[in-house]
Amino acid sequence: MIQGIDIAAIRGLDWLKKQKPATIKDMSRSIQALSLWNEPAKQLIELLLSGKKDGFWKTDTPLIETARACSALAGCGQVQPDSLRWILDQQKNDNWNDNEIDTAYALTALGDSGMKNEPGCEWLVRNYGEKWEHAGTTALIITALLKQDGNEYRFFINDRAGFLLSKRLFGGWTHIATSNLAIQALILAGERDIEKEIGPSIKWLMEKQDEDNWGNITSTALSLISLRMYLDKLNSASNK
């Protein structure tokens, strides 16, 4: 399957490099994908940074988009101290906007930039319940906790990883974006037998590729991130 992944990635990357992302979300995800595959992303990085004003990216969802941008840039070695301060300034009563999605994105951005935030993590774990039991939401929360301190929340992470796997149907979680978030969370969670646990989802993901892309910029970038993470995890496991 590794050869198939390489072929799918080449096609996806060729397609992605021809696109002109206009949203913070598309730019951030594209930068992450290109960087992971060692493809140049300098122009996109400059374009993304040009949209920052007063330490954040002003959109309809400034917290999430600023967090996405910070994560993408941190992955390229460009930590944004002013934006991280802005994110921290938005934290109230241990969380962000009294919202699990916003809080997960904020914690992920902080974690990607090397900053720990225990109150935010504790808020997520303490308030997790039936209303949050969706694949995408759970994947984002698992990822946030792992970026922050995977050891501290290992029992919760393992339990919720099991929940994610229980919701998988025929290899995926219905939607491409949701499936990628779930795949990435499970890879980060460190499944012992990655080929057995994650392989079926990677196969499902490649079957969803329409010649060279996965429908749109974000879904294509997320898919390329998942494929790279899977290959890296396989290589890491084989070297032990």
Residue 190, pLDDT above cutoff 90: no
Mean of pLDDT values over 137-149: 97
Contact of 5 with 202, CB cutoff 8 Å: yes
Q: Number of structural domains, the chain? A: 1
Cα→Cα distances 6→140, 188, 218, 227, Å: 26, 21, 19, 9
Tell me what the pLDDT averaged over the chain comes to: 96
- The reported pLDDT for the residue numbered 233 is 93
Which one-letter DSSP state was computed for residue 120?
H
Q: Model confidence over 116-134: pLDDT tens digits?
A: 999 999 999 999 999 999 9
Contact of 63 with 103, CB cutoff 8 Å: no
- The reported pLDDT for the residue numbered 202 is 97
CATH number at residue 113: 1.50.10.20
Mean of pLDDT values over 4-10: 95
Mean of pLDDT values over 188-212: 91
Please give the residue range of the domain that contains residue 148: 2-238
Residue bearing the bigger pLDDT, 97 or 193: 97
pTM of the model: 0.96
Residue 104, pLDDT above cutoff 80: yes
Mean of pLDDT values over 175-184: 98
Mean of pLDDT values over 191-207: 90
Task: Provide the total of helices (H) and of strands (E) in the chain, helices listed first.
Answer: 13, 2
Reported as a pLDDT band with limits 50, 70 and 90, residue 239 is low
Q: Strands of the chain (E only): list them.
A: 91-92, 95-96
Q: Model confidence over 36-66: pLDDT tens digits?
A: 999 999 999 999 999 999 999 999 999 999 9
Residue 192, pLDDT above cutoff 90: no
> Can you give the length of the chain in residues?
240
Residue 175, pLDDT above cutoff 90: yes
**Closest Cα to residue 160, out of 182, 131, 193?**
182
Where is average pLDDT lowest: 22-31, 127-136, 149-158? 149-158
Reported as a pLDDT band with limits 50, 70 and 90, residue 150 is confident
